[in-house]
Structure 1
Amino acid sequence: MSIDLWKPTRRQFLAASAAMGAAGLAGIRPAFAAVDWKKYAGTTLEVNLVKSPRGDTLQKYQKEFEELTGMKVNSEQTPELQQRQKAVIELTSGKPSFDVIHISYHVQKRQFEKGGWLADLNPFLKNPELTDPSLVESDFATAGLAFAKDKGGRFGALPFSVDYWIVYWNKDLFAAKGLEFPKNFDEMVKASETLTDADNNVFGFVARGAKNANVPVWTSLLLGYGKSSIGPDGSLQTDSPEAIEAAALYQRLMTKSAPRGVTGFNWAECQSAFLQGKVGMWMDGVGFAPPLENPQKSRVVGKVGYSIIPKGPVTQAAPTTGDGIGVTAASANKEAAYLYCQWAISKQMGARLLQSGSGVPFRNSVLGDAEVRKGVTMPGSWVDAVAQSAPISQLCLPVIIPVTEFRDIIGVGLTNLLGGADPATEMKKATEAFKPVLARSEAP
């Protein structure tokens, strides 16, 4: 189903699509069919944003929202870590200074749910004066809904921007060895080892090896075994047979096919190695792509393939992180704040994120729109990888409060694997170390 919250003429739409990347739809004012956007004219909203390209985009077009609604918006961007600290302090007090909050789902979801800090958006979504009837759940990627809802179906922050994990691959290196992109994990291992020529400083695979940063790589592989790090009942699955196999796979890829010094690699080091044209495959978030197509930074311009992660022994999954935007439970302007959130995740704003490279919207109607795609500066295969990830998206990290401690403790075990440690021993040791941390976080 295609969702279009505005119904411009074909001429307006084509003009808008052509202009989005450079001019950001300047002068185009979409017509919102059913929503009474002026209902809260005169209201002032306080908006707390994470400092990011997504926050920049919202602030850049904020005036359009103000003109559409007659409301005044005071928005502030704060660097991610400081924004999280500020949010916790103010929300815990019960008197936050903001009506709208931008959250990192993969870090803050459980914390916000336990604190009861977000307003339930279900009543707003069902209100035709507040929500266009074409805005439906089926337009969001599966992981977006998993992020947005709690176990009881309560809808918190609206899904805003998603980061799927994909594989970047060097088409020239593959062609030189007569290889095709791997269809499954076994083929990925074989291709990595075939591509590796350490004497000539060519390596088949790279991913994050540094403690903490390495955990999403392992959890991404684990999803292919049909498991997540924490089960539906909240129990740890980090020492399950599948988890140990995924750890062994991580160990093999990173010790037999990765560059020297990979134990110190975060995403930046991985990206730098891939940019030099000496790495066959790099597994990481889709948002790291733009520099690869920049001639001033990259030696692989036009040589990069973008693909979803190959199928594991059980399933094919697109590991997913993302952020959302919601209304604080303590806000005195909940309905007005919800209108801002709906505007922020609208098709128009999603197209702007996608075309500028500022983010990837959770909405399928944006990713599947041929006219929107025409304005994307990245190669078509990048957009294909994004679109193909949506229906197979699964959460990359566990939805728990101590996400940082989880990454630290499990990350130590994964780093030890790169030094030759036994996967079963390390995963069992890390699991036992994290159990009491998880238990304390869930205590009343």
Structure 2
Amino acid sequence: MQGITRRQALQAGAAAIAAPALVERAGAQGGFDWRRFRGERIEVTVQLSPRGQFLQRHNAEFEELTGIKVGLEVVPEQQHRQKIIVEYASGRPSFDVTEISLHVNKRQVGKARWNTDIRALLADPSLTAPDFDFDDYGKGMVTYATQSDGRLDSCPAGADYFILYYNKALFEAAKLEVPTTWDAMQETAKRLADPSKQVYGHVGRGLKNANVVLWSSYLLGTAQRDMIDANRQLITDTPDAVWAGETYRRFIRDLSPPGSIGFNWNECQTTFMQGRAAMWVDGIGFAAPLEDKARSRVAGRVGYAVVPKGPGPQHHCALFGAGYGIPEASKKKGPAWFYIQWALGKRNQLEWLTSAAGVPARSSPFRNEEAIGKSHFPREFFQTLEASAKIARAGLPEIVPVTQFRDVIGTALTNTLGGADVAAELKRATAEFRPILEQSERES
């Protein structure tokens, strides 16, 4: 993404990153002392990603601003998830700040009460900078970072909203409007399909495990919305769940390319990028490769919209994301909170977006006119992000055995593509997974 420079972004920030003495004076004048914990050292561990690499590149800025030394560790995603759980469970984690994959580890971390509730830190004006503006975070991400008992045990970091990608050229040639409901999307997909030219109305994930997040996107549009009830019981074989399963089957089996039963996101991306699919519902992170003129035939002709509405009273899109937390066992909670404020403040979150490092959890970057003007993404992209932030809801149940859940339900969905009855498959899968969930809920 062609974004504004860091120098330009810094000009819009609260305090210039300058010599320590100058920063100290600026903090004092502003009534907030960024150098309160100078001389301290903290350990930070995050996943290897463009966001983690961004923090690596700018680590010296935080150290200069605060006088706090940071040992920053960037670890590949799967290894990172395993590492932090092992260390949490030991009772002596080596880190003071860590990234949490909310769609994978939220329930596990929250149930064990491994992280600090940051609400007290947010309420303390001596510990929270006046321009941190927690209200700037999207409602969906704040809910996502909050545990069922009300504890806010991580600060929202990065978001992955499921959106509707559409091929503008195909829509314009057919003189069709972008659908706003799932039913309308099915009819539109039928009209845009031209198998003789290997063009299909839709493409989506059909592969076991990967397919669950598409099914959940349909379920979020019903009156049910969740996959477990208030008593933590599995409810994936209800009439709404069956409707979502039947909708999933129609889109994949009847409206997508042959072989879609084996498609994960990469096959979907390739199909859409070659101009062979009119519509695709998936994560916002695929926008960058789709707009890459060196790789994509549809670059410059990609449309963006919020996911269509379902039959339920609410309109939601699936949400996946990450937060940054402070272990309860950390003895450096103050310095750790300063780091999180810097890492996830408005300035850095804006640059995540403008440098294509990721989609921020904050909403203000999507309205930044300078960023919009200098980006090769259309205004529609930013509008879709902002609108999605307001309607986002967790795309997977907040449970510990989430990978097993995706395997079991994903197998059922795959079976329906081969002709199996949707209601029977979901009933079987629900019965199979229910004792797994109940056992995980009983374990401490």
| CA deviation profile, 1:5-55 (whole Å, cap 9, x unmatched) | xxxxxxxxxxxx8424xx684788742644321010011111011011111
Residue 148 of structure 2 corresponds to which residue in structure 1?
A: 151
Alpha-carbon shift at residue 421 of structure 1 (Å): 1.2
3-state SS of paired residue (2:354): helix
Asked whether the equivalents of residues 415 and 425 of structure 2 are also in contact (C-alpha less than 8 Å), the reply is yes
Secondary structure at the counterpart of residue 176 of structure 1:
helix
Larger displacement relative to structure 2 (207-216 or 174-183): 174-183
Match of 2:115 in 1: 118
Superposed displacement of residue 376, structure 1: 3.3
Q: Deviations over 1:388-414 (max 9, x none)?
A: 111111111111111100100000001
Counterpart of 2:5 in structure 1 is: 19
Deviations 1:272-319 (A, max 9, x none): 000101100011000111111111100001111011001111132121
Contact persistence 2:4–2:354 (CA under 8 A): no
Could you list the structure 1 runs, at least 4 aligned residues long, displaced by more than 6 angstroms after superposition.
26-29
Contact 2:201-2:255 within 8 A present in 1 as well: yes
Deviations 1:205-238 (A, max 9, x none): 1111101000000001100113221223322221
Q: Which runs of 5+ in 1 are unaligned?
A: 1-16
User: For each residue in 1:308-341, what CA deviation from the matched residue of structure 2 results, as whole angstroms up to 9, or x when unmatched?
Assistant: 0011111321211110111111111011001101
Q: In the alignment, what sits opposite 2:46? A: 49
In structure 2, the residue matched to 1:13 is none
- Work out whether residues 287 and 357 of structure 1, in 8 Å CA contact, stay in contact via their aligned partners in 2: no
CA contact (8 A) 2:12 2:347 kept: no
Distance 1:88 1:24 in 2: 39
Aligned to 2:427: 428
Percent of pairs with identical residues: 43
Matched, 1:204 2:201: yes
Q: Is the 8 A contact 2:157 2:360 kept in 1?
A: yes
Is the Cα–Cα contact under 8 Å of residues 317 and 391 in structure 2 kept in the other structure? yes
1:383 CA drift (Å): 1.0
Q: Specify the alignment match of 2:296 in structure 1.
A: 298
Q: Specify whether residues 224 and 426 from structure 1 end up closer, same or farther in structure 2 by C-alpha distance, changes over 3 A only.
A: same
Does residue 360 of the first structure (1) align with residue 365 of the second (2)? no
Could you say what the CA RMSD is over the residues aligned between the two structures, in angstroms? 1.6
Is structure 2 residue 350 aligned with structure 1 residue 351?
yes
In 2, Cα distance between the equivalents of 1:29 and 1:379? Answer: 25
Aligned-partner SS, 1:77: strand
Aligned-pair distance for 1:93? 0.6
Counterpart of 1:230?
228
Number of aligned residue pairs: 426
**1:237–1:87 Cα change, 3 Å:** same
Using the TM superposition, name which of 328-337 and 175-184 deviates more.
175-184
Q: Which residue number corresponds to residue 334 of structure 1?
A: 333
Contact residue 98 and residue 326 of structure 2 kept, 8 A: yes
In structure 2, what is the equivalent of residue 248 of structure 1? 246
Q: Which residue of 1 aligns with 2:306?
A: 308
Aligned residue in 1 for 2:413: 414
- 1:8 matched to which residue of 2? none
Distance 1:28 1:283, change over 3 A: closer
Q: Which one is further off, 278-287 or 377-386?
A: 377-386
Residues 70-98 of structure 1 show CA distances to partners (whole Å, capped at 9, x for unaligned) of: 01111111111100111111111111111
Q: Does 1:193 align with 2:190?
A: yes
1:18/1:87 Cα in 2 relative to 1: closer, same or farther (>3 Å)?
closer
Name the CA distance, whole Å, in 2 between partners of 1:25 and 1:140.
19
Cα separation, 2, equivalents of 1:376 and 1:231: 42
Structure 2 stretches lacking a partner, 5+ long: 16-26
Question: Partners of 2:258 and 2:410 in 1: how far apart?
Answer: 19
CA contact (8 A) 1:161 1:322 kept: yes
Match for 2:5: what amino acid?
Answer: A
What corresponds to 1:6 in structure 2?
Answer: none
CA contact (8 A) 1:24 1:352 kept: no
Q: How far apart are the structure 1 equivalents of 2:238 and 2:164?
A: 26
**How far did residue 134 of structure 1 move?**
4.6
Deviation at 1:372, TM superposition (A): 3.7
